[in-house]
Structure 1
């Protein structure tokens, strides 16, 4: 079991790395293509790429699949595995993903990749807060974590640069939407096949982004070709591979370890922005990042040792 847990945590670490580094191609893409058009390509192609993975994993693990993808299921309820059954739920998730991804991608026109990555991580704290309205329990650790993270967010905010502040606020709004999406997904994966839900979610998000792009933007095939490698990274590593790694790891990773590992996505985003885009943060901004990370960890430590469930 220890070996399986270690393997699961390596897969989660790789997923966090792929997602953290993803902010670099996302930022670079904005030099060549408009935000909604970029999302249309990355999510629709990523969803298509996930289809053969769905069938491959289903054929390999058919008897265990339901158990593997819903570690927290209660009551042993039957899970719907057909594409048709997963369509409504996947469409709801796709809408939230479309909204969150649109805000996040557009924010990169104004703010840096590293900052966007760190502020996006705020969704880990917003999940238990929004969960309160759904009757979920939380504890003082969550509030302590949120207080630390808000202090960090204040330190990260640059009030002297109006355009960057606009970008930061857009990322924060996207973190809120992603938190709603996570809570929706948590509810749906107890009833429907998680792999198929994800696939439908990506395809719906891609289609909604394409429609919105055609209405608001002036998308061209030339711009998509110019942004080919960022699109390729996002569809292969950030969508198909990272999501599959996360799903495969869910059964064996210790929840407390998993949360800490997933929090590292923000750190990877900051490091990648510095390494590949020469983004440098001031001492105050670095302190803000540190407080935000501490807030995420404190909150989730409390939720795994306290009375969250």
Structure 2
């Protein structure tokens, strides 16, 4: 029980970092295109982790095996496809719709957990998932109009990719070294982002010194590579083995909440009434899923006794 709470708290801290760095990344990609930014970000993250291992944990390299490498690459491919599909989708749809559709992985993860991992979600988790999905709608869409377009299709497949990343992390995190898995998946994302940046973006800008020296770019790269990539994915890989994939998805649903709060504090963006309702809905969904499994059954029996007596 204690390990589960530590795991959930650690994953919530990761979610806070991702949400808090959203404004920083937005400022950086005004100068460096998204895939190029992620190519540099994940390359630096891999380099930091590699140097750390060489200096402090060199003996871990002896545990590199072909199955571990395959698992890390598989995790990295799902993670990359999530980033890439979201980037493509944003060319054709709005940020608010993309945020909501991406957040639907909170609904997909319990389904995939049941299909691929044979993990049956608890009643608390199911209700919490529905509450979080409703909260995501109010936070990102609100009372705006909805019109379906091809960008929404790309972002929906992005949600599937992020959901599958959680599933495969859940599958492999207990089998192999968290550090080696993290380094392998980060290296995979760096390579894939570099390849696709050369194919679809201005490849001359990836390592353009004039752009990388801009304060908005290098500070964003430093923060995201160290905190939002190296530390974040190591924590996810290391601690997810102590919780369930469904709980991880619910915790990650807090990312847009943290993003909205930090955007309000740092960038002066105002939260609408709909956004506030959405934040509350996501928070309540996460808290509800954290309640003991016996909570619903106890409430149900108490209500039944009141009715029958």
Shorter-chain TM range is: 0.7 to 0.9
Shift in CA distance, 256/173, structure 1 to aligned 2, threshold 3 Å: closer
Instruction: Look up the match of 1:281.
Output: 271
User: How many angstroms does 1:214 deviate by?
Assistant: 0.7
Residue from 195, 203, 218 that aligns with 2:179: 195
CA displacement, residues 236-272 of structure 1 (integer Å, 9 cap, x when unaligned): 1111233345566678999999888766544322211
Worse-matched range after superposition: 204-213 or 128-137:
128-137
Residue from 217, 230, 247 that aligns with 1:240: 230
Q: Secondary structure at the match of 1:190?
A: coil
Distance, in Å, in 1 between the alignment partners of 2:292 and 2:20 is 28
Q: TM-score, normalised by structure 2?
A: 0.72
Residue from 85, 91, 109 that aligns with 1:127: 109
Instruction: Look up the match of 2:304.
Output: none
Residue from 128, 134, 145 that aligns with 2:128: 145
Distance, in Å, in 2 between the alignment partners of 1:189 and 1:251 is 6
Instruction: Look up the match of 1:136.
Output: 119
User: For the pair shown, which has the larger CA radius of gyration, 1 or 2?
Assistant: 2
Shift in CA distance, 95/243, structure 1 to aligned 2, threshold 3 Å: closer
User: How many angstroms does 1:297 deviate by?
Assistant: 3.5
User: How many angstroms does 1:104 deviate by?
Assistant: 4.0
Worse-matched range after superposition: 205-214 or 121-130:
121-130
Instruction: Look up the match of 1:99.
Output: 81
User: How many angstroms does 1:54 deviate by?
Assistant: 3.7
Shift in CA distance, 95/237, structure 1 to aligned 2, threshold 3 Å: same
User: How many angstroms does 1:40 deviate by?
Assistant: 0.8
Equivalent pair of 2:106/2:250 in contact (CA under 8 Å): no
Residue from 191, 194, 202 that aligns with 1:218: 202
Shift in CA distance, 14/298, structure 1 to aligned 2, threshold 3 Å: closer
Equivalent pair of 2:125/2:289 in contact (CA under 8 Å): yes
Instruction: Look up the match of 1:231.
Output: 221
Distance, in Å, in 1 between the alignment partners of 2:150 and 2:271 is 18
User: How many angstroms does 1:196 deviate by?
Assistant: 0.7
Q: Which structure 2 segments of 5+ residues have no match? A: 297-309
Instruction: Look up the match of 1:70.
Output: none
User: How many angstroms does 1:225 deviate by?
Assistant: 4.1
**Alignment size in residue pairs:** 286
User: How many angstroms does 1:228 deviate by?
Assistant: 2.2
Alignment of 1:287-302 (within 5 A): 287-299=277-289, 301=291
User: How many angstroms does 1:274 deviate by?
Assistant: 1.4
User: How many angstroms does 1:102 deviate by?
Assistant: 2.2
Instruction: Look up the match of 1:204.
Output: 188
User: How many angstroms does 1:290 deviate by?
Assistant: 2.2
Higher relative contact order (CA 8 A, sep 6+): 1
Equivalent pair of 1:150/1:292 in contact (CA under 8 Å): yes
Distance, in Å, in 2 between the alignment partners of 1:107 and 1:6 is 35
Equivalent pair of 1:23/1:117 in contact (CA under 8 Å): no
Q: TM-score, normalised by structure 1?
A: 0.72
Distance, in Å, in 2 between the alignment partners of 1:136 and 1:258 is 13
CA displacement, residues 194-237 of structure 1 (integer Å, 9 cap, x when unaligned): 21111110111111111111111113124444422212211111
